[in-house]
Structure 1
């Protein structure tokens, strides 16, 4: 069984004390594929080192996270564009809109989101979307930018059934992580109405640890708890969930 974690911040400072051991724990737990989203230029060196240390398992994205869209965002976007031009990445991400932390930057967040969508089209790459308190704004951008060459993953999907169907209509897979195990997460109430062909697994480690680790540091090995929950909800084996979601990840990332 091969499990794919489509979204994990393995370079995070939260893993500075035991990064290699933590990654090995995940590999030992059948998590063989780690897709690494970017945040901003301050993490680029650490991301490249991860790829060098685990070349068979680690695949890098490049992008500017919406919470890093600040005064220097144009320089950050230039960094993203330069790296995409210089070497191969598996996706443009994570990109999008976050209105939980800062609503004052909405205009430049939208500008950065659209700019990076167009980079993804230019380099024929998927996008990985970060959406927090911003479904309407994200959908408005996707509607304006929609085309056959725009596709990707709606990372950490936490919306309702209608929003799930809308995201899928824009050629997006839904990234399902620890939230599906939460009592108040709500997506467990409808997710089995969505065909598994539209789902991928993720942890968003070190954030959003699933039950029974909720509130603690998340790590990629804990994706098995997400797998268990989906197997229960869909009434099929964990191995089958792992197989389908890994195939879905290959369809998106081409790896």
Structure 2
């Protein structure tokens, strides 16, 4: 089974104690590539180290996470922009909006999101969107800025069918992770009505581990459990899900893949 994890913070300090063993388990699970979303200026070096240690397997993105949009966000954005024009990245990400943790910088989050979307448009790169408790607000901004070329992933999609259809109509993919295995995750009401062509798989490791590991540290090695559950909901085999979603991911990140 060939799998691609389109979103994992594998550079996280939560893997420092056993990273080599974790990476071996990931390979044994059939996960060929891990796309790594950046968070802030502090995570860049760790991410690049993973790229160096696992070339062609751990692939970097560059962006400022909405939860890290604070008083200094303009200075942080400048660092992200300099990197994006300096070397290739798979996408601009992880960017977006977050109304779950802290609402006090929401206006600044919207400014940062629009700015980073404009970079993606200029560089012809996909974007990877974080939209926790802010799905409709994120959809509104993407619809406003969609120029016919803007593309990417709504990471950790947990919305309803109406939102899913709006996202698909805008030319974006849905990132499906461990929540699909949760009893009250809600995706069992959505995925049966969608096409596999609109999905990619992700773990968001070390967060949101799928059942039966819920509550523990997540890892891309658990991606087969997500593929299995998606297959159950869409009446497909896990192998078919893995092949289709991997193809979707490679098509989305084609520009970077061609530079590998």
- TM-score where L is the length of structure 2: 0.97
* CA displacement at 1:212 relative to structure 2: 0.5
Corresponding residue of 1:67: 67
Within-5 A mapping of 1:210-221: 210-221=210-221
Q: Which runs of 4+ in 1 moved over 3 A?
A: none
Aligned residues: CA RMSD:
0.8
* CA displacement at 1:162 relative to structure 2: 0.4
Corresponding residue of 2:155: 155
CA contact (8 A) 2:231 2:237 kept: yes
- TM-score where L is the length of structure 1: 0.98
* CA displacement at 1:56 relative to structure 2: 2.2
Give ranges in structure 2 of 5+ residues lacking alignment: none
Query: What SS does the corresponding residue of 1:86 show, helix, strand or coil?
Result: coil
Aligned length: 255
Greater shift, 155-164 or 233-242, is seen at 233-242
Within-5 A mapping of 1:114-193: 114-193=114-193
User: Residues 182-230 of structure 1, C-alpha deviation per residue, up to 9 Å, x if partnerless?
Assistant: 0010112221211000000000000000000001110110111101101
Within-5 A mapping of 1:1-255: 1-254=1-254, 255=257
Following the alignment from structure 2 to structure 1, what is the Cα–Cα distance between the partners of residues 128 and 7?
9
CA contact (8 A) 2:161 2:189 kept: no
User: Residues 91-129 of structure 1, C-alpha deviation per residue, up to 9 Å, x if partnerless?
Assistant: 000100001011111110000000000000111100000
Query: What SS does the corresponding residue of 1:174 show, helix, strand or coil?
Result: strand
User: Residues 34-82 of structure 1, C-alpha deviation per residue, up to 9 Å, x if partnerless?
Assistant: 0000000101111111000000211110000000000110011001100
Query: What SS does the corresponding residue of 2:144 show, helix, strand or coil?
Result: helix
CA contact (8 A) 2:69 2:112 kept: yes
Greater shift, 49-58 or 231-240, is seen at 231-240
Following the alignment from structure 2 to structure 1, what is the Cα–Cα distance between the partners of residues 139 and 242?
29
Following the alignment from structure 1 to structure 2, what is the Cα–Cα distance between the partners of residues 139 and 31?
30
Query: What SS does the corresponding residue of 1:48 show, helix, strand or coil?
Result: helix
Query: What SS does the corresponding residue of 1:150 show, helix, strand or coil?
Result: coil
